[in-house]
Amino acid sequence: MTHERVTITGLGAITPSGLTVSEMWDAVANGRSGIRVLEGDEFETQHARELGVRISGQVRGFNPEDYVPRPLSRRLDDMHVWAIAAADQALAQASGGPAATTAAVAETTGVAPGAALPWDPARVMVVVGTGSGPLRPHHQGAVGFEHKGQRGVPLTLTMHGAPDAPAALISQRYGVTGPARAVSATCASGAVALGETMRTLRHGYADAAIVVGVEDCVNPINVSSNANVRALAAGYEAHPEQASRPFDSGRTGFVVSAGAAAMVLEREAVARSRGANVLAELAGYGASSDAHHATAPLSDGRGAAAAMRAALADAGVTAEQFATGAPDGGPLGHVNAHGTGTVAGDAAEAAALTTVFGSTTATGASCQLPITATKSSTGHLLGAAGVLEAVISVCPLREGIIPPTINLDDPAFPELAIVREPRRMPPENNTMVLSNSFGFGGHNASIVIAAR
From CA 272, how far away is CA 218, in angstroms rounded? 41
Choice among 80, 160, 334, 338 that is catalytic: 338
CB atoms < 10 A from the CB of 21, how many? 25
Q: What phi, psi does 2 have (nearest 5°)?
A: -90, 150
pTM across the whole model: 0.94
From CA 348, how far away is CA 304, in angstroms rounded? 8
Residue 147 annotated among the catalytic residues of the structure: no
Average pLDDT of span 127-155:
91
Q: Determine the topology of domain 284-450 in CATH.
A: Peroxisomal Thiolase; Chain A, domain 1 (3.40.47)
Cβ–Cβ < 8 Å for 189, 128: no
pLDDT digits (tens, 9 = 90+) for 379-433: 999 999 999 999 999 999 999 999 999 999 999 999 999 999 999 999 999 999 9
Q: Which has more confidence, 141 or 127? A: 127
Average pLDDT of span 318-322:
97
Choice among 334, 380, 395, 443 that is catalytic: 380
Residues 6+ apart with CB under 8 A from 105: 68, 69, 72, 111, 112, 173
Choice among 160, 187, 217, 334 that is catalytic: 187
Is 284-450 in the same CATH topology as 6-281? yes
From CA 339, how far away is CA 24, in angstroms rounded? 18
Residue 367 annotated among the catalytic residues of the structure: no
Q: Out of 3.30.360.10, 3.40.50.300, 2.40.110.10, 3.40.47.10, select the CATH number for domain 6-281.
A: 3.40.47.10
102 has pLDDT over 50: no
What number of helices (H) and strands (E) belong to the chain?
Answer: 15, 16
Q: Residue ranges of the domains in the chain? A: 6-281, 284-450
Residue 80 annotated among the catalytic residues of the structure: no
96 has pLDDT over 60: yes
Chain-wide mean pLDDT for the chain?
Answer: 94
From CA 403, how far away is CA 24, in angstroms rounded? 12
Cβ–Cβ < 8 Å for 153, 146: no
What is the share, in percent, of the chain residues with pLDDT greater than 90? 86
